[in-house]
């Protein structure tokens, strides 16, 4: 069984797939705009368009495969979509401290207005 992808690996793959998709599209547009009436140039451009369109399709398939992997990982609980950064941890700890202070005040019978810093 293959290992689960990390967030960094997923981001790298997303960036690679998107850049490939954009690059192939740009190559197709650049090839399609060349105006050269010779048969040889037309044959070369036709071949380039064929190669680039095949690569474009492959890049789209890679993105679809990536979305499938992400869905499977998310469904089976291995994708951490709710990861906390430092700000989230600090906010959660402050909230837990506030909850503890309110709980202590209720247990001691203290008025909640005394806990408010605005007074």
Find the domain containing 74 and state its range: 1-81
Within 13 Å, how many C-alpha atoms sit on residue 23's CB side?
10
Q: Tokens standing for 106? A: 């209720």
Q: Coil, strand, or helix at residue 6?
A: coil
Residues 23 and 63 in one domain: yes
Regarding whether 70 and 41 lie in a shared domain, the answer is yes
Give the per-residue pLDDT at 119: 46
pLDDT band at 72 (very low <50, low <70, confident <90, very high): confident
Kindly list the distances between the CA atom of residue 72 and the CA atoms of 24, 59, 78, 79, in Å, as whole numbers in the listed order. 28, 20, 9, 9
Same domain, 46 and 104: no
Instruction: Domain count for the chain, please give it.
Output: 2
Q: Tens digits of per-residue pLDDT, 23-52?
A: 999 999 988 777 778 888 888 888 999 999
| Mean confidence (pLDDT) of the chain | 82
User: How many of the other CB atoms lie within 10 Å of CB of 18?
Assistant: 13
Structure tokens belonging to residue 67: 């979305």
Q: 74 with 106, same domain?
A: no
């Amino acid at each position: 069984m293959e290992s689960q992808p990390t967030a960094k690996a997923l981001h790298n793959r997303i960036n690679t797939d998107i850049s490939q998709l954009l690059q192939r599209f740009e190559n197709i547009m650049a090839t399609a705009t060349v105006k050269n009436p010779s048969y040889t140039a037309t044959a070369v451009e036709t071949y380039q368009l064929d190669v680039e369109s095949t690569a474009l399709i492959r890049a789209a398939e890679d993105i679809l495969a990536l979305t499938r992997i992400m869905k499977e990982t998310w469904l089976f609980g291995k994708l951490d979509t709710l990861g906390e950064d430092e700000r989230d941890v600090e906010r959660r700890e402050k909230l837990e401290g506030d909850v503890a202070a309110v709980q202590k005040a209720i247990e001691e019978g203290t008025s909640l207005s005394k806990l408010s810093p605005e007074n």
